C-alpha cells in the first residue's frame, strides 16, 4: 500500500491480457518451485536436522559445559579417542551423532575439544581450548557459519538450475523465496541479500 492505495491493481481492473499473463506466470512459478523441490530434495532434507543441532547446542551450552567439566573431574571411562594429531581424548558429552566434546589432562590443566569421528576411523578436532563454554560457543558459531554457507550454496545452485530450465526468465525470486521458506533463515542473523 502506498498512501492507502494498493501497489498492484486488483485483478478486476486489469485487462484480459494482463490477467492471462499473471495466471501463466503463476503457473510457471509453481512448476519451477515443484521442480526445484524435487531436484534438491535430498540436500534439503539435511538442513532441518543440522539447524536443529545448532539450535539445541546454542540453547544448551551451559548445561553441556557443566557436564563436560564434571566428566573431566572423574576418572576416564570408556575407550580413549585418538585424534589425527595423535592426542588421546576422553569423551565427555555426545553433542550429536559422531560429534562430542572431549577432555584430556594437559601439561597446564584440563583441555576440551570438539571431536568428530568419521566412519573411516579418522577423528578430527574442530576446536579446542581450556574453557568448555568457550569451546562450545566457538563450535556453535562455526556450525552456524557452515549453515549460512550451505544456504548460500544451495541458493546459487537452485538459481543455476532454474536458469537452465527456464532460459531467458528471471527465477531468482523463486530460488530466494524457496530457500528462505524452507530453511527459516529468520532463525539466523543473515545478511538481507540472503533472505
Residue-wise pLDDT for 92-143, tens only, equals 999 989 999 999 998 899 999 999 999 998 999 999 999 999 999 999 999 9
In contact, 151 and 179? CB cutoff 8 Å: yes
Backbone angles phi, psi at 19, to 5 degrees: -60, -45
What pLDDT is stored for residue 5 in this prediction?
A: 54
What pLDDT is stored for residue 195 in this prediction?
A: 33
Mean pLDDT, rounded, of the chain: 80
CA distances, 195 to each of 76, 125, 155, 189 (Å): 46, 32, 10, 10
What pLDDT is stored for residue 186 in this prediction?
A: 40
Which strand (E) or helix (H) includes residue 116? strand 109-117
Residue 162 has pLDDT above 90, yes or no: no
Compute the chain's Rg from CA coordinates. 24
Burial letters 8-46, b for 16+ CB under 10 A, else e: eeeeeeeeeeeeeeeeeeeeebeebbeebeeebeeebee
State whether residue 177 is helix, strand or coil. helix
Q: What is the pTM of this model?
A: 0.71
Amino acid at each position: 500500500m502506498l498512501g492507502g492505495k494498493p501497489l498492484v491493481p486488483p485483478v478486476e481492473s486489469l485487462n484480459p491480457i494482463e490477467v492471462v499473463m499473471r495466471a501463466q506466470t503463476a503457473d510457471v512459478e509453481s512448476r519451477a518451485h515443484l521442480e526445484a523441490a524435487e531436484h534438491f530434495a535430498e540436500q534439503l532434507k539435511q538442513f532441518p536436522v543440522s539447524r536443529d543441532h545448532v539450535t539445541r547446542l546454542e540453547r544448551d551450552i551451559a548445561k553441556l559445559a557443566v557436564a563436560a567439566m564434571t566428566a573431566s573431574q572423574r576418572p576416564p571411562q570408556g575407550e580413549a579417542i585418538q585424534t589425527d594429531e595423535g592426542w588421546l581424548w576422553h569423551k565427555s558429552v555426545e553433542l550429536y551423532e559422531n560429534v562430542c566434546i572431549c577432555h584430556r589432562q594437559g601439561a597446564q590443566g584440563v583441555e576440551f575439544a570438539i571431536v568428530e569421528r568419521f566412519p573411516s576411523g579418522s577423528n578430527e578436532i574442530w576446536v579446542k581450548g581450556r574453557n568448555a563454554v568457550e569451546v562450545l560457543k566457538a563450535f556453535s558459531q562455526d556450525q552456524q557459519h557452515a549453515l549460512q554457507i550451505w544456504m548460500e550454496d544451495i541458493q546459487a545452485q537452485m538459481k543455476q538450475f532454474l536458469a537452465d530450465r527456464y532460459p531467458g526468465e528471471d527465477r531468482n525470486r523463486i530460488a530466494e523465496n524457496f530457500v528462505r521458506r524452507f530453511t527459516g533463515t529468520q532463525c539466523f542473523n543473515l545478511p538481507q541479500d540472503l533472505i
